[in-house]
Structure 1
Amino acid sequence: MRLLLMSDTHLPRRARELPPELLEEVPLADVVIHAGDWVDTDTLDLLESRARRVIGVYGNNDGPELRARLPEVARAELAGLRFGVVHETGSAQGRERRCSERFPDLDVLVFGHSHIPWDTTAPGGLRLLNPGSPTDRRRQPHCTYMTAVVEEGRLTDVRLHRLPPRAEEATRRPPVTRRPAPPAQ
């Protein structure tokens, strides 16, 4: 079973549309997982129209329409693995312990919010995955998403995909630094 993981798409605030590389992955996936901060319902509608199955949650930037359609926490068993999806997990420090305590019945937890890719396994075995953001890299060098495979109750082939700069990012001029005027004589 092939999975496509994304979060923090923030459309149309951070980009006009999803990157073409990401959209090409949608029909190839058996399940698309989105960990919140969609911002508009059009993105949810688009993914639901193109994907075989969408599992998603709402994030802190999602309004009433998305909150009416999506849960705060989603759970699903996929090919023998117990998955959970949430938007926010708190600070990186202590994340594995907090998530293991909050979700003792899960094998994999997909989360977002920080826009920072994350892939760790807690001491108790919980795998924590944050795919980053495909549209808003924030302080990261690239926009990102993840793919993974579930087979025979195991998560394999977890890959972080780095997207090329968007056209508007690539052509953006650096800020102009103005020199102070010379002192008057």
Structure 2
Amino acid sequence: MPTRLLLIADTHVPKRARVLPDEVWRAVDEADVVFHAGDWVDLALLDVLEQRAARVIGVWGNNDGRELRARLPETTRLELDGLRFAMTHETGPAAGRERRADDAFPDTDVLVFGHSHIPWDSVSPRGLRLLNPGSPTDRRRQPHRTYLTAVADSGSLRDVTLRRL
């Protein structure tokens, strides 16, 4: 059975937004797995997300303090529906990102990351899919706040959709 994915990052709750937008909570309810690529800022969001979501996979980001770092890894790896995922908060500058990711994550099909608040969807020379959902709460210099949805299905990633808020 296909696995419905929700990818978010850089929520910065409650500093940049008091709460996640209602649309994101609806997406949480519909997802089988929620990925959060760091910069939660407050432990309370992790607690609520873990209570509400079917499954949460998270990492800490540069704005996350000691409590979040105690509960979450800096980088995580897992397999879902025949796809090898990795997630980390920061991947460095855009220039050369795909080649660096190939070197750092050789046994990975999909790399989820955050930090920049800039949506990103590319494929490395080796075929690694790199996805940054942007931020659902802080658009910075982007035209919209964003998140991603996708489906993992028998070894393939399909229906990758950037959602604008």
Give the paired residue count. Answer: 163
SS class of match (2:10): coil
Match of 2:84 in 1: 82
Match of 2:156 in 1: 154
Task: Provide the C-alpha distance between the structure 1 equivalents of 2:134 and 2:47, rounded to a whole number of angstroms.
Answer: 21
Amino acid at match of 1:30: D
Deviation for aligned residue 1:34: 0.2
Percent identity between matched residues is: 70
Match of 1:49 in 2: 51
Match of 2:42 among 19, 23, 40: 40
SS class of match (2:131): strand
Task: Provide the C-alpha distance between the structure 1 equivalents of 2:45 and 2:26, rounded to a whole number of angstroms.
Answer: 15
Match of 2:70 among 68, 71, 78: 68
SS class of match (1:139): coil
- TM-superposition CA deviations, 1:69-124 (whole Å, max 9, x none): 00000111000000000000000000000011000010000000000000001110
TM-score, L = length of structure 1: 0.88
- TM-superposition CA deviations, 1:15-60 (whole Å, max 9, x none): 0100000001112101000000000011101110111110000000
Runs of 4+ in 1 over 6 A off after TM superposition: none
Match of 1:124 among 108, 114, 126: 126
Amino acid at match of 1:65: E
SS class of match (1:11): coil
Task: Provide the C-alpha distance between the structure 2 equivalents of 1:147 and 1:16, rounded to a whole number of angstroms.
Answer: 23
| Rg larger for | 1
* Two-structure CA RMSD over aligned residues (Å): 0.4
